[in-house]
Structure 1
Amino acid sequence: MEEFSCPRIYSCCNCRCHVSDHDDIISKCFQGRNGRAYLVANVVNVSVGPKEDRHLMTGMHTVADIHCFQCQEVLGWKYEKAFEESQKYKEGKFILEKAKVMKENW
């Protein structure tokens, strides 16, 4: 399991496995399945599920759910492809649902 050198991290709310560094947050103004979500540049200790096309609030995207490597909790998704040019900046980035992660060492 990868550990962070930065003290402010996000962990899985179910098992407290570290999943992201606070410095990797791009935006806190996103919407997930369960409410507010973060757009992040990098995650660790997750597995990526199969790709599927989903119609989201900002249009059609190819996404893959991300699961906690330790407990398999669905934490959000990875943007694989954006069909609209204005949404291409999301490709390769991740959504972490606020309800599925907890802050550690704040």
Structure 2
Amino acid sequence: MAIKTRAYSVDGKREMTIDEFKRWLKKFDNDKDGRISRDELADARRVSNGGWFTRRKSKRIIRSVDANGSGFIDDNEIKNLAEFAEKHLNVRILHW
């Protein structure tokens, strides 16, 4: 279940809308609580990249985008994760 997008930009980044990004990410919300945990983020990253994404690195990402310090990424923090993905995961989010 890789990140499926409509196109790649000229610079090779995957392009998707914020809604496509949210839908893709919610597929990994295994317990359906509306939040993405460190383990769920690790699963999402592993699947999208085809490689392993360490729990330690996913913990760092959670800390960097988790505005309220809950240890989870909720709907209010998805934009933070999208910004992180643009900077570090070769993704371009369209139509903010």
Structure with the largest fraction of strand = 1
The normalised TM-score by structure 1 is: 0.27
Structure with the largest fraction of helix = 2
Whose radius of gyration is greater, 1 or 2?
A: 1
